[in-house]
Structure 1
Amino acid sequence: MNVTNGEFTVNLNGIDHWVKIEGSENGTLPLVIIHGGPGGNHYVFERTAGPFLSQTRTVIYYEQRGCGRSQKPGADEDYTIDFLIRDFRELKSWLGAEKVDLLGYSFGGELALEFSSAIPEEINQMILSAPSLMNTDIQKMVQLTGFMSIADPSLYEKISLLHQEGLALDEIYNQVWALVDSETVDLLLFENQDVASKNRALWEESKLTNTGLMMNALTSNLSDSPLIPRLGEIKHETLIITGVFDRNTGIPISKIIHKKLRNSTMALFEKSAHFPDLEETEKFVEVVQHFLESK
């Protein structure tokens, strides 16, 4: 394995990907950080929890095709899970690493599970922070319940009326997301609104945007092999981190994953919602480092 600290442009499957390496002097198994979204980036993580993790681990950031500082594919539909798995395998080959550890947050946690399912022999162990299960009814219901729990009276009434109209779950879900503003989304994602404000400030500072193309592609091209039935085949040691106030994916999603994975443990963060890495950064880093060093 030959890794050195720095930022790189790495061509994976014909797409130029932004890659950053920190902590190579630690000489550990690479810890690959997988961002969420879908369509997000690492700008916030690499300025919050990331620098603390790289004090003891070799940390590898990369932004998925069409995300953040990575190149957009030529076709809008080229964001499938299969493409993302192939990109990841080429990244691993570029690193020259036989095995890697994974730390995925939000959708990145779900993607880490997809990687582990597809190439189990190439993954050592995983940390899933607030993992998602996209395109499932239960996640949509968790989010809808979450919005109702923090909604002002006007929004609460609008959501209630959608339910009373007898619309299909998908239609209610899409209409609610069309109704909510950024302040309401912050209330959904964060328990501490001061942290939410800092997060938004970093988003603005980054000048990076989520095009929505990956989300659209992944929700319109449903997998022939859904993830949930495959979870029982994943044998890697896995730590699932969940904020007790997570209204976006939350304890119900983490519990489903925890029950089906053979070798998983859960760590609840009692002051966090969807981003324990931001709301309880010190504890997050400590728990992750302890898990990696004790296995």
Structure 2
Amino acid sequence: MSGKINIRGKNLFVNSFGNENSVPLLYLHGGPGVGSYDFELFQGQRISKKLHLITFDQRGVLRSDPLQEDEKFELNDLVEDCEALRKSLGIDRWSVLGHSFGGYIGLLYSNTYPDSIDKLIFESPTFDLSLSARSLIRGAAGIYLNIGDEERATMCLKAAEKDYSSLEELFNICFNQILNNLGDRREDLYTHGPDKYFFDRVVSEAPFPKEWWGKQQMFQKKLYSEGAIYQSIMSMLHQIKCPALLLKGVHDYVTCDIHVQTFLKNVKYGYLKFFEDSGHMPRFEEPERYAETVIQFVLRDSFER
């Protein structure tokens, strides 16, 4: 199955890999608004050897129909779309894998519809965008130290500890100023290995118009304007009822130590797997081990804590 399905009045692009009679796994992409194509490219065939993998481009993103300027769109729409998609596909329960911001959506989905989910997997997630932004700023400080720019490194460390009047101000400092000023070295914060520009290659070689990647801008504009995305949902971790696995690249800054510690402390059946040679995207940097880890967890029958 590959194509558009009308979900709650919007045509969403949905893809399916593997045997439909296998255990189902839903993938939620991050970005926000980056789409699922890169995940399909690196993990679609690997994970579907044992699982029925379902991916989709979220409302208004990439291969899905675009959001209009006057169209209402809120964070909760992403949660409701997940549940509506499950019902549309006739799936009783499924496991959910969310990457980065997709982990944020996955936690919201689990909290809202716990009976729909068998297992949760979080790859390099953020549950608190403020913590992730400050961690990225500290990572930028480390990069400046490595190139001998102590002045900018000190500036970053001060910015990471500063009290801001709003999370919007913190985001502006982090992403529009500090990270942009890193230039090409910005990718060092997300990719550990030498292939820093793999995603640029994915975009340039994708079999659809490059303009479609630009749909992300309207998606982000509406989410940030609504403001719910700025709220920490760390307190929801203790409400997870199903087994949950946190996949953490050792060199990732988005999922900071506080995320890891809070996850392990609050999730009853919470498990942690480190990827030593990865940054923010273990599914790309350690693809075989990643697929094996995901498959084993989804198919595992018993869990103890």
TM-score by length of 2: 0.85
Q: Give 1:74's aligned residue.
A: 68
CA offsets, 1:269-289, max 9 Å, x none?
A: 111111111111111111111
Q: Is this contact kept in 1: 2:25–2:52, CA < 8 A?
A: yes
Question: How many residues align structurally?
Answer: 287
2:291 paired residue among 272, 285, 290: 285
In structure 2, the partner of 1:156 is: 153
2:186 corresponds to: 185
8 Å contact from structure 1 (residues 248, 274) kept in 2: yes
2:254 is the alignment partner of 1:248? yes
Deviation at 1:164, TM superposition (A): 10
Pairing 1:87–2:63 present: no
Partner of 2:13: 18
- 1:138: which partner in 2? 131
The amino acid of 1:202's aligned partner reads V
Contact 2:120–2:242 (CA<8 Å) still a contact in 1?
yes
- In the TM superposition, residue 167 of structure 1 has moved relative to its aligned partner by 6.1
| Alignment partners' CA distance in 2, 1:268 and 1:160 | 26
Shift of 1:173: 4.0
Alpha carbons of 1:191 and 1:226: their partners in 2 closer, same or farther (altered >3 Å)? closer
Task: Quickly say closer, same or farther: Cα 1:164–1:237, change in 2 above 3 A.
Answer: closer
Q: Distance in 1 between matches of 2:140 and 2:70?
A: 30
* Cα separation, 1, equivalents of 2:71 and 2:260: 29
Q: Counterpart of 2:213 in 1: which secondary structure?
A: coil
Instruction: Check conservation: 2:107, 2:236, Cα contact below 8 A.
Output: no
1:264-275 equivalences in 2 (<5 Å): 264-275=270-281
SS of 1:286 mapped into structure 2: helix
Q: Which moved more, 1:249-258 or 1:105-114?
A: 249-258
Q: CA deviation at 1:36?
A: 0.4
RMSD (Å) for aligned C-alpha atoms: 2.5
Give the deviation of 1:89 after TM superposition. Answer: 1.6
C-alpha distance in structure 1 between counterparts of 2:266 and 2:26, whole Å = 23
The partner residue of 1:221 within 226, 229, 235 is 226
Alignment equivalent of 1:52, drawn from 46, 65, 83: 46
Change (3 A) 1:226 1:187: closer
C-alpha change, 1:217 and 1:138, in structure 2 (3 Å) is same
Any idea what the Cα deviations from partners look like across 1:205-243, whole Å, max 9, x if unmatched? 232425333333333323498522222111111111001
What's the counterpart of residue 4 of structure 2?
9
Deviation at 1:166, TM superposition (A): 7.7
| 1:174 matched to 2:180 | no
The answer to whether the 8 A contact 2:59-2:67 is kept is: yes
Alpha-carbon distance in structure 2 between the residues aligned to 1:82 and 1:173: 21
- TM-score, scaled to structure 1: 0.87
Structure 1: 5+ residue stretches without partners? 1-5
Q: Distance in 2 between matches of 1:156 and 1:193?
A: 23
Counterpart CA distance in 2 for 1:255 and 1:204 is: 38
SS in 2 for 1:284: helix
Q: Percent identity?
A: 25
